[in-house]
Amino acid sequence: MRWISFFLLIIFSGCATIPSQKESEKKTSYLEPKIIEKEGIYHRVKKGETLWRISKLYNVEMEKILEANKLRDTSKIFQGQLIFIPKSGQSIPKEGKLEKGFIWPIKGKIISYFGTQRYDGTINRGIDIMPQESSKVLAVKSGKVIFSSDKVKGLGKTVIIEHNDQIYSIYGNNSEVFVQIGQEVNQGEPIALAEKGILHFEIRKGHIPQNPLYFLP
């Protein structure tokens, strides 16, 4: 359990690990990538595809795809976009063989984006969502609850779920929590209620914050 305590300490310590970005940087113009290296293939983004799912298709780390295409952390890929997959000659496998993708934790409007300043003055390490209808918070992917506490500064009642490949999803600002530490949860299972109509949501790889929009369809 010592590694979990260390992991949680890193997650909830400070916000200086993510540089602040201006609001105007959230929407950027897109240019087809000019690729110099020859090893790799091009992929045309299909409807509903995420960067995480594309990285799984070709078994290439998401960070390498970001670097090769010079994508900013606040950008979001879109249907029809041409993306270069570096050092991959792998053909696309059948959908049935792929690991199931992520779903949204709650339906609503994003009111604060990854890397921007939140309403409390801190730098957002995830996204803040204002629900449209139900305030029930859903598990974005199947996994195991490794953390549940109401003593997280700035996030209130918080739940962390561990998934495959050292991926963790974090759900904060809840009014009520339905799950317990050690519990296995299924994708789409209600785990909490969002407080005051706002959910704070993060995805981490190890302890490093990731842009959730790369994972959500």
Q: Cα separation of 210 and 126, whole Å?
A: 7
Q: Cα separation of 86 and 168, whole Å?
A: 26
- pLDDT tens for 124-136 read 999 999 998 778 9
What does the pLDDT average to over 7-22?
Answer: 49
The domains of the chain are located at: 29-97, 101-214
- Check residue 89 and give its pLDDT: 53
- Check residue 39 and give its pLDDT: 81
What does the pLDDT average to over 100-113?
Answer: 91
CB 173 within 8 A of CB 207: no
Q: Looking at domain 29-97, what is its CATH homologous superfamily?
A: LysM domain (3.10.350.10)
On the question of a common fold for 29-97 and 101-214, the answer reads no
pLDDT band per the 50, 70, 90 thresholds, residue 25: very low
CB 215 within 8 A of CB 203: yes
Architecture of domain 101-214: Distorted Sandwich (2.70)
What does the pLDDT average to over 18-37?
Answer: 46
- pLDDT for 15 beyond 90: no
Q: What is the pTM of this model?
A: 0.72
Q: What is the DSSP string of 91-139?
A: PPPPGGGSPP----SS-EEEEE-TTSBPTTSSBPSSEEEEESS--EEE-
